Amino acid sequence: MDNQIVTIQTQPFEGQKPGTSGLRKKVKVFQQPHYLENFVQSVMNTISVEDRTTLVVGGDGRFHNDIAVQTILKMALANGFKKVIVGINGLVSTPAASHLIRKYNAIGGLVLSASHNPAGPNEDFGIKFNNASGSPAPEGVTNAIFENTQAINEYLISDMDAVDISDAQEIDLNDMVVQVVDSVADYTELMQSLFDFDALKQGFASGQLSICFDAMHAVTGPYAKSIFEATLGAAEGSVINAAPLTDFGGGHPDPNLVHAKELIDIMSQDSAPALGAASDGDGDRNLITGKGCFVSPSDSLAVIALNHRAIPQFKNGLAGVARSMPTSTALDRVAQTLSLDCYETPTGWKFFGNLLDAGKVALCGEESFGTSGDHVREKDGIWAVLCWLSIMLESNKSPESLLRDLWQQTGRSYYCRHDYEGVEGDKANQLLAELTDSLPTLAGTEVSGLMVKAADVFSYSDPVDDSVSNNQGVRVFFENGSRVVFRLSGTGTDSATIRVYLERVENDPQQCDEDAQEATKALGEIAKQLSKMEALTGMTAPTVIT
């Protein structure tokens, strides 16, 4: 194919700083001339010319995915990459992208997604860079990318026509090969290597296992159909909302009690299957529910850890486990019971990367519906569902009774997250700043009948490379073991979101049956009081409770 490399003059855009999970902005922002190109060139500038070997590209299929993929192909060619691996039609779930990077020994990948945020011309788009181990780039790299975006004055792009990526094939562009891969097949094969598919298949055939998986019109539909229906033999129609749409059907593909309502309704009926599950826009999040029994993500992580021997991937034991700081301490208690190392990291999957690479942990999770193992360097929704199916099969127990076993053995962390969305950025910053200022005198005081034991701002020192990440959220610990955490979201595209995480630990197995929202209500009020929420933001109640 004929093509010329063109150098385009450009100027920096403000605010191209990657957040918790890459750069996320409104589609309209990404549609501005040079906006995406500046960011992509800034990423490529951080990769030395000799290292520009293989790059993986793909995304969750949301509006603007197709255009962004073609732009990246043109820029990869112009910037001297030898090969680009791309999913058919540019679709690759986030965990599958991480797998492709590892499988094809790529130098990294550009993952196009705004995760669970809505999609469409007026909604959100995003891009992030994952490194050679398949992990979202660590802060050192994202800072270097950001510095590049502030100084950029030109980018390189080829003037070639759009590449046909509608089929699995290899296209030779003389200086670069585009390899279009069937990422569903690759990912299915990976799952097959980690789980006992024959046993699971028998479980579905005998009726012991059954599932309803809500793909929320996002990227996991084809993956879920291939694995649960075509390979494991779950009844046809077990995967609902299976066709990926560019606007996710106008919905909000966030697998939680609020947005996965269709699934929750199915699971509350008498005819409900044994397991209900959902995943988000890009397939990294998961929701787990039994018949009328929601499993909180923190508990799901703890159940997987407690029963890890039922999962072939972990049959020789678990190296260690990790959770993000706001995630409940249920995992810590399981780790203690099983004598496993347990690490606490800041919010965001990138912080697990070093621990996984160093073999210190093999199972990680976040309260935000994220769980995964050491097979990729992203959270992995379908993988988590396969873990649950494996545990249910081996134990012959329902999600509800597995949850009860957990609480009986290690107590229960009543847990809730309160999100205050749509807050003006300045006000949200002021709230965190004032709260931080109040911390030194908080310990030893009583708030609504609870004694404050300690309070601090979480700072993380990476045990592998000693890098330090400060300012990762405010923590207030109470004498009775309860905890309240405050932090600002780093994934929003316009106004600020204040996240308030509430945890109340109950060690008495007889007292584990309360409703989580009720059980954490008083803590929610204390959090409002401590942060002067109403006075500073005008908000009297959270906008979303999960």
Active site residue ranges: 115
Which tokens in the block code for residue 19?
């957040």
Q: What is the smallest separation between the CB atom of 252 and Zn ion, expressed in angstroms?
A: 12
Rounded distance, CA 387 to CA 295, Å? 14
Q: Which of 213, 349, 351, 460 binds ligand G1P (CB under 6 A)?
A: 349
Interaction between residue 130 and ligand G1P (CB under 6 A): no
Give 379 or 528: the residue with its C-beta nearer to Zn ion: 379
Q: What is the smallest separation between the CB atom of 282 and ligand G1P, expressed in angstroms?
A: 9
Give 223 or 501: the residue with its C-beta nearer to ligand G1P: 501
What does 282 interact with, of Zn ion, ligand G1P, none (CB < 5 to 8 A by kind)? Zn ion
Q: What is the smallest separation between the CB atom of 152 and ligand G1P, expressed in angstroms?
A: 26
Residues 71/36, Cβ–Cβ less than 8 Å: yes
What does 349 interact with, of ligand G1P, Zn ion, none (CB < 5 to 8 A by kind)? ligand G1P
Strands 460-461 and 468-469: antiparallel
Give 182 or 421: the residue with its C-beta nearer to ligand G1P: 421
Judged by CB under 6 A, the stretch of 24-32, 336-344, 345-353, 395-403 that binds ligand G1P is: 345-353
CB 503: neighbour CB atoms within 10 A? 25
Q: What is the smallest separation between the CB atom of 115 and Zn ion, expressed in angstroms?
A: 3
Q: Is 311 buried (19+), middle (13-18) or exposed (0-12) by CB count in 10 A?
A: buried
- Give the CB-nearest residue to Zn ion: 115
Give 238 or 491: the residue with its C-beta nearer to ligand G1P: 491
Judged by CB under 6 A, the stretch of 139-147, 207-215, 401-409, 489-497 that binds ligand G1P is: 489-497
Interaction between residue 252 and ligand G1P (CB under 6 A): no
Interaction between residue 20 and ligand G1P (CB under 6 A): yes
Interaction between residue 418 and ligand G1P (CB under 6 A): no
13: DSSP letter: P
Give 22 or 411: the residue with its C-beta nearer to ligand G1P: 22
The CA-based dihedral angle spanning residues 327, 329, 331, 335, taken in that order and rounded to the nearest 10 degrees: 140
Interaction between residue 136 and ligand G1P (CB under 6 A): no
Q: Which of 87, 134, 348, 399 binds ligand G1P (CB under 6 A)?
A: 348
Rounded distance, CA 44 to CA 148, Å? 10
416: DSSP letter: E
The contacts of residue 451 (CB under 8 Å, 6+ apart) are: 444, 445, 478, 479, 480
Which tokens in the block code for residue 426?
């300045």
What does 490 interact with, of ligand G1P, Zn ion, none (CB < 5 to 8 A by kind)? ligand G1P
The contacts of residue 339 (CB under 8 Å, 6+ apart) are: none
171: DSSP letter: E
What does 70 interact with, of Zn ion, ligand G1P, none (CB < 5 to 8 A by kind)? none
What does 491 interact with, of Zn ion, ligand G1P, none (CB < 5 to 8 A by kind)? ligand G1P
Helix or strand run (H / E) with residue 51: none
Q: What is the smallest separation between the CB atom of 21 and Zn ion, expressed in angstroms?
A: 8
Give 152 or 384: the residue with its C-beta nearer to Zn ion: 384
481: DSSP letter: S
DSSP 278-302: EE-TTS-BEEEEETTEEEPHHHHHH
Q: What is the smallest separation between the CB atom of 21 and ligand G1P, expressed in angstroms?
A: 4
Task: Label residues 149-167 b or e (16+ Cβ within 10 Å = b).
Answer: beebeebbbbebeebebee
Residue ranges in contact with Zn ion by CB under 5 A: 115, 280, 282, 284-285
Q: Which of 80, 120, 490, 509 binds ligand G1P (CB under 6 A)?
A: 490
Q: Which of 124, 196, 332, 366 binds ligand G1P (CB under 6 A)?
A: 366
Interaction between residue 129 and ligand G1P (CB under 6 A): no
CA angle, corner 441, sides to 435 and 444, nearest 5? 115
Rounded distance, CA 166 to CA 178, Å? 12
Measure Cα distances from 123 to 184, 424, 493 in Å.
Answer: 26, 19, 9
Q: Which of 300, 347, 354, 371 binds ligand G1P (CB under 6 A)?
A: 347
Rounded distance, CA 369 to CA 388, Å? 14
Q: Which of 135, 491, 520, 531 binds ligand G1P (CB under 6 A)?
A: 491
168 half-sphere exposure, CB direction, 13 A CA radius: 6
Q: Indicate the SS3 state at residue 165.
A: coil
Give 16 or 54: the residue with its C-beta nearer to ligand G1P: 16
For ligand G1P, the binding residues in 293-332 under the rule CB under 6 A are 324
Give 59 or 203: the residue with its C-beta nearer to ligand G1P: 59
Q: Which of 489, 520, 531, 546 binds ligand G1P (CB under 6 A)?
A: 489
Interaction between residue 125 and ligand G1P (CB under 6 A): no
Which tokens in the block code for residue 137?
């780039």
Give 229 or 299: the residue with its C-beta nearer to ligand G1P: 299
**Distance from CA of residue 453 to its chain's centroid?**
32
Q: Which residues bind ligand G1P (CB under 6 A)?
A: 20-21, 115, 324, 347-349, 366, 368, 370, 489-491, 499
